[in-house]
Structure 1
Amino acid sequence: MLESAAGPGPGHSGDSRPVPERVLLFGAGYVAGHIAARLSALGSEVAVSSRQPPLTAESRRARWHQVDVESPDAVAALVRRVRPDAVVAVHGPSDITWCETHPAETMAAHHGGARNIAAALDGRPVLLISTDNVFDGHAESHGESAVPEPANAYGRAKLAAERELLATQDALVLRVSLVYGLGDTGARPNFLTSTVRTLRSGRPLLVPEDHWNTPVLVDDVAHWSAALLRAGRRGVLHLGGPRRIGRAAWARHIAEALGADPALVRPAPRTGTAYACRPRNACLHSELAGRYPELGPHPPADVLHCTPALIST
């Protein structure tokens, strides 16, 4: 159940409340950078933090602090120094294939980091960006009432992080489906960015023919995050795009928008690709979002409508 710190129920509008004055993000990657930029545009003083200096343009515009989220002393010291009014957790490795072969490191970063963040909150609200990989993918899509059954090491670590932060009673867990956008200069760019680069180079692209997502534009993640922080929500909420689409179909759509040879897209069984550890259906929908007026101005974009516009910019 999703609630508001100002009182549960659909009559509450977050637009009447200011954004937190100071926000600290644990994480400085592509998604964190866009959340930071949105909060900054709304008037928050924002800081991002990570072990290494940020690579993405949006994160580099924010004030950056070096921190090892696996160190409880370092996390506590950073919270004392920044004195945030709210915290956003977007930390830990997100390359699902890498996580599957490094389960201990993945759990230490996500769960251990969440435990350290929880210990340092001292009553502050926290927003955790989580994943559709907390589900096994047997259903075509998963709402908030679905029981988590993680599909892989990444999902198990994220679910452990969720439970750690929800136990504080001051957390909102926002599970997002596959996030996309252009301009991702991180170490492992999102699917749209990497597909565009591969096809523009004329190289073939091996993609699973049996893997479905409800892709979410990174700007929508940022808008929802800011609106939900402003409204003071707590609990679990899902953000999935309005279209369920297979990776191969999306890749062909990208090729068409680019004017690239569609034969470069090589469909293959998921088990024979880097996506083997992903759930068959990494899809989310929300049973709750329609009740919350602060989300009304930000309906998730349709991936097929967005892709040509993004590629042409």
Structure 2
Amino acid sequence: MKSSERFTVALIGASGLLGRAIAGELASARNAKDWRIVHTARSRVDNRSVKLDLLDYDAVRAFLRDFAPDAIVVTAAERRPDICEKDPARARALNVDALRVIAAEARSLGAWVLSISTDYVFDGAAPPYFPDATPAPLNAYGRSKLDGERALLASDPASCVLRLPLLYGPFTDWSESAVTSLTPAIVESANPANPPASMDAWATRYPTFTPDVAVVVRGMLEQHAKGATISGITQWSGDEPMTKFDIAERIARVLKVDAKLVAQHTPTDATPRPRDCHLDSGRLEALGIGRRTPFDIAITGLLANYPNVPDQ
């Protein structure tokens, strides 16, 4: 089903937080008419996407052989650290084994793979982290993503990994991002009858707007389409350091609620998380790829688009 005239991209995980942003960016790109984008989704399937369960490896192989894409962007993964810690076998099946299947099939088809990874491949003890820094993940999620990186690049060194930090963007429910998931507690804390909301003030994060990442991915795909393939490890990150406590204060200001927030200065998560995994984005910046929307502008726009804030 591959078109000989158009550059075909398989976007695996197009219904997720990042996948939707990438799908929208590719559809609106000035060269969109020259591209054919095939979306896949596991549960939130619509008339624009192909239903695909990454744990059905035979189905994954059949899909790729059927559509024979020029490039494959893999955004689908198990990305919840607590879930990965409870079921590391399933996390590896999605984050490592499925990626290995995709990589092997892509190599036989001559397709370039761009896989999304995470800043959690690092332990957060010595930022900033450059692409060649030695990984040292602290939890099952980070280990599975690191092993996925290695499986992909071992299969085809011309493929590419894009490491990203904490993501937020247009959402379908509050829980899609660790940024927007803070909102209900922020609003509820403003009710005099409710206790204050405790917010982590220990770990430094770099919230990164998914529409900005989509611009990065489009730029990387355009490089590949014109024969200037980017391979190996790349990274992109927002450049505003903040804790979840800082994020919560900003959200409260945007919503104009008098939130009662308590800063937690020691880690309380059951699953260990790194303290500061600031990713250096210099490699992509040097290529002129990238965009950063200031956090306050982005979060204001997001919350304005979703006015049904939980009752105070």
Counterpart among 18, 24, 48 of residue 39 in structure 2 = 48
Counterpart among 137, 142, 151 of residue 129 in structure 2 = 142
2:286 corresponds in structure 1 to 291
Aligned-partner Cα distance in 1 for 2:87–2:178: 21
Aligned-partner Cα distance in 2 for 1:309–1:65: 31
Structure 1 residue 301 displacement after superposition: 2.2
Aligned-partner Cα distance in 2 for 1:65–1:128: 19
2:238 corresponds in structure 1 to 241
The unaligned stretches of length 5 or more in structure 2 are: 225-229, 306-312
Contact 1:123/1:170 (<8 A) preserved? no
1:101 corresponds in structure 2 to 86
1:75 corresponds in structure 2 to 60
Contact 1:208/1:247 (<8 A) preserved? yes
Identify which of structures 1 and 2 has the higher relative contact order when contacts are C-alpha pairs closer than 8 Å and 6+ apart.
1
Q: Secondary structure at the match of 2:183?
A: helix
Counterpart among 270, 275, 284 of residue 280 in structure 1 = 275
Instruction: Check if 1:189 corresponds to 2:207.
Output: no
Contact 2:202/2:267 (<8 A) preserved? no
The unaligned stretches of length 5 or more in structure 1 are: 1-18, 55-59
2:117 corresponds in structure 1 to 130
Aligned-partner Cα distance in 2 for 1:46–1:185: 26
The one-letter amino acid paired with 1:172 is C
Instruction: Check if 1:22 corresponds to 2:8.
Output: yes
Counterpart among 242, 249, 252 of residue 252 in structure 1 = 249
Contact 1:50/1:69 (<8 A) preserved? no
CA radius of gyration, larger in:
2
Contact 1:23/1:47 (<8 A) preserved? yes
1:117 corresponds in structure 2 to 102
What's the TM-score once normalised by structure 1's chain length? 0.83
Structure 1 residue 124 displacement after superposition: 0.3
Q: Provide Cα deviations, 1:226-285, integer angstroms capped at 9, x if missing partner.
A: 11111022121111111111111111111111111231x3322453246x4221113212
Instruction: Check if 1:268 corresponds to 2:264.
Output: yes
- Considering only aligned residues, what root-mean-square deviation do their CA atoms show, in Å? 2.2
Structure 1 residue 95 displacement after superposition: 1.2
Structure 1 residue 120 displacement after superposition: 1.1
The one-letter amino acid paired with 1:256 is R
Aligned-partner Cα distance in 1 for 2:90–2:266: 25
Aligned-partner Cα distance in 1 for 2:36–2:197: 41
Q: Provide Cα deviations, 1:32-76, integer angstroms capped at 9, x if missing partner.
A: 11111211222132222233234xxxxx5x722222223331111
Percent sequence identity is: 29
Aligned-partner Cα distance in 2 for 1:21–1:84: 8
What's the TM-score once normalised by structure 2's chain length? 0.83
Q: After the TM superposition, which parts of structure 1 deviate over 4 Å for at least 4 consecutive aligned residues?
A: 201-204
